[in-house]
Structure 1
Amino acid sequence: MWSWLKMSFTGALEVLIEMKNQDVRFTKDTYVLAFAICYKLNSPESFKICTTLREEALLKGEILSRRASCFAVALALNQNEVAKAMSIFSQIMNPESIACTNLNIIIHIQSNMLENLIETLKNAAEENLSKFVKRRAFSEEVLAKVREKVKDVPALVAKFDEIYGTLHITGQITTDSLDAVLCYTPRDRKSHTLLLNKKMVSRRTFQPLSQSLLAE
């Protein structure tokens, strides 16, 4: 099953690269799709492609969406490129989404910033917010990684367990994995798969873009 999906992602990425080579303008949603595919492929090559696309976009003065940047950060973390992940994350405007919240925790874990990590969780658990303001939520999967990281430091384990209990009481823990959080698409938004299908059609020939490019 994964091999089939990987082939599909690879094929889609090849089409996007060809679009780029043909100077087809990328929209914000196209970048989201491209970075999401690179994240799903999770290879040194896809990381290089994602990095190149991102740097080219920034050089052109294009503004990348928070969601696109989150996929780029997640891919960098999966490839153990922590410094790159931190750099991309630092450039995200308003990193208040659930994806950003959890990626920030992973960055702290992989950077061994354990004291800051515990402090970040503590601040989130003790936030005195209006009932109309949504609290930061943490993935159970990500919190499990935190506990694994601090398990050999008794003082930090005790603090974490206390904070975890508070987060549980305040309803700030979700069973969704980080991958599910990253890939979640609100129902009122068009599927990026449909977006890709739309982009893959040549405006001039109304043929699939891949066929049109080959014909040219």
Structure 2
Amino acid sequence: MANTLLTLLRKPLTNSLLSKTNNISLTSLYIQDVKYLFSKASLGLDGFSQQSEKIKLQLNNIADKFREKMSEYVTIDSKNMIFTEDLKNMVHLTENDQDIQLTVEMLKKYNKQNKSLRFGNYVFGPVVMRMFYVHNKPDLALECFKSEELTGIFDQHISFQLLLDLLYENQRYQEMLDVFQIISEKQLEGQKYPKNVIVLILAACYKLNNQESLDWALKLWTQLSEVGHIPMRRASTFCAGLAFNQGKPDIALEILSSVRNQNYTTVRNLKVVALAEIGRLDDVIPILKFVLSDDTPQNENVHTFNRDVLEKVKQAVSKSNNPEITLEFNRVEQMLIKQGHVSQTSLDEQLCSEIQRPPINRDFRAQQNFQPRGFNNEGFQQRPRRINYQRPGLSELV
């Protein structure tokens, strides 16, 4: 796939293809700015808020005195240590900018202390990043992530994900790409390209929606292909959507070919609109028909096409001046509408819809029915546990 994509990138478009792609409306997919990419629950933010309320209730009577004591402990001449429990409590007690700054100073001192004195397995990176996220502090989160005084604190995949998602929420897309350069050099747990991080980075490229971001995304995509990394479906659709928006439907189709399940709603819609854009209407009609043929009483999930996608197909059909194709498309379109297979949600909205939970990881550990080691909402490492995977319904795959 990498070689084919490289060939496409190096091969100049034919005049006929140029005439078609130059007329693409770059706003057809790029319409809405959806605020969140990963849901709060999937990032552990709900759990963090619950824990904060619990600790605030427990320390209600002594919270102010505790803050005063910690403020004394972080002074330059203080010889008092910052213990794990102190920092845990302060992270969850934060209510204003002063509290957050105190927490950062405590974290810096904590990180300087003799690490041999730490006997627990508490990891502060994800918890502190959740604090930044809850209080919407992208600048401070970025500053701390880059701080030499906090080296090693945020070296976890979930911390990367939280930081990038916070930047995404604040539409700091270019800074997301800059952060990725730092992340890719760390190679934690032998991974240079964490899957959720790749999703966020390609989402940033999609949102930037310019030629530079497309070049950046395709370079990354080629690197992923060369090392055998298989991006998650959402990463693939972001990259393909960006290629389409930038007038490269042929590249979009090549990227979509890497998705294992071609019947995902977003994949199917992108494939249809890209094929229509390059005049492959003979290939579009069977895809539209398949949704109708798959509409059985046993199938509880309704397969849909986005309204804006069908409109673009209709425009391509009209330009084709082919009576046979026009007749067949009109017939199929009416059946799709009648049977409820047309979604009023735009393709852009669907591409950027909130990810409710991490997609199934089908790597070796998943095949062994073990959940990868991670960090819970309170910062403790979770031990692997056996889980039973179920095939998600189509409504979960949108």
Write out aligned runs for 1:57-136 (5 A): 57-136=224-303
> Once the two structures are superposed, what CA deviation does each residue of 1:156-205 show, in whole Å capped at 9, x if it has no partner?
33322221111112211101111111111243459xxxxxxxxxxxxxxx
What is the Cα deviation at residue 67 of structure 1? 1.1
Aligned partner of 1:176 among 339, 345, 364: 345
Q: Offset at 1:23?
A: 5.1
* 2:182 paired residue number: 18
Match of 1:46 in 2: 213
In 2: Cα distance, 1:130 partner to 1:7 partner: 43
Cα distance, 1:46 vs structure 2: 0.6
Larger relative helix fraction: 1
Change (3 A) 1:7 1:134: closer
Residue matched to 1:56: 223
Deviation at 1:126, TM superposition (A): 3.2
Show the counterpart of 1:35.
202
Give CA deviations for 1:77-123 in whole Å, capped at 9, x if unaligned.
11222332222111111122110110111121122011221232123
Letter paired with 2:279: N
Q: Once the 2 structures are TM-superposed, how far is the Cα of residue 36 of structure 1 from its aligned partner?
A: 0.8
Question: Between the two proteins, what is the percent identity of the paired residues?
Answer: 27
| Higher radius of gyration, 1 or 2 | 2
SS at match of 2:271: helix
Question: Over residues 31-77 of structure 1, what are the superposed CA-to-partner deviations in whole Å (9 max), with x where a residue is unaligned?
Answer: 00011110111111111111111221222222211111111111111
* Structure 1 letter corresponding to 2:180: L
TM-score (normalizing by structure 1): 0.77
Q: Which amino acid aligns with 2:209?
A: N
Moved over 6 A (4+): none
Mapped to 2, the partners of 1:17 and 1:109 lie a distance apart of: 36
Letter in 2 for 1:157: T
In the alignment, the residues of structure 2 paired with residue 176 and residue 118 of structure 1 have an alpha-carbon distance, to the nearest angstrom, of 21
Partner of 2:152: none
Distance 1:31 1:128 in 2: 34
1:13–1:37 Cα contact (<8 Å) kept: yes
Quote how far apart the aligned CAs of 1:143 are.
0.4
Please give the alpha-carbon distance, in whole angstroms, between the structure 1 residues aligned to 2:183 and 2:325: 50
Task: Classify 1:52/1:23 alpha carbon distance in 2 versus 1 (closer, same or farther; 3 Å).
Answer: farther
Q: CA deviation at 1:128?
A: 4.8
SS in 2 for 1:80: coil
The count of aligned residue pairs is: 188
| 1:26–1:44 Cα change, 3 Å | same
- Aligned amino acid, residue 338 of structure 2: I
Bigger shift: 152-161 or 94-103?
A: 152-161
Structure 2: tracts of 5 or more residues without a match: 1-32, 34-168, 360-398
* Mapped contact 1:35–1:71 kept (Cα < 8 A): yes
SS of the residue 1:151 aligns to? helix
Q: Which runs of 5+ in 1 are unaligned?
A: 191-216
**Does the CA contact (< 8 Å) of 2:252 and 2:274 recur in 1?**
yes
> Which of 1 and 2 has higher RCO (CA within 8 Å, sep 6+)?
2
Residue 177 and residue 38 in structure 1: after superposition, are their counterparts in 2 closer, same or farther (change >3 A)?
Answer: same
Give 1:149-160 correspondences, 5 Å limit.
Answer: 149-152=316-319, 153=321, 154-160=323-329
Are residues 43 and 127 of structure 1, via their aligned partners in 2, closer, same or farther at CA, if it must alter by over 3 Å?
same
Distance in 2 separating the partners of 1:11 and 1:128? 44
Q: Distance in 1 between matches of 2:324 and 2:215?
A: 40
* 8 Å CA contact retained: 1:129, 1:135: no
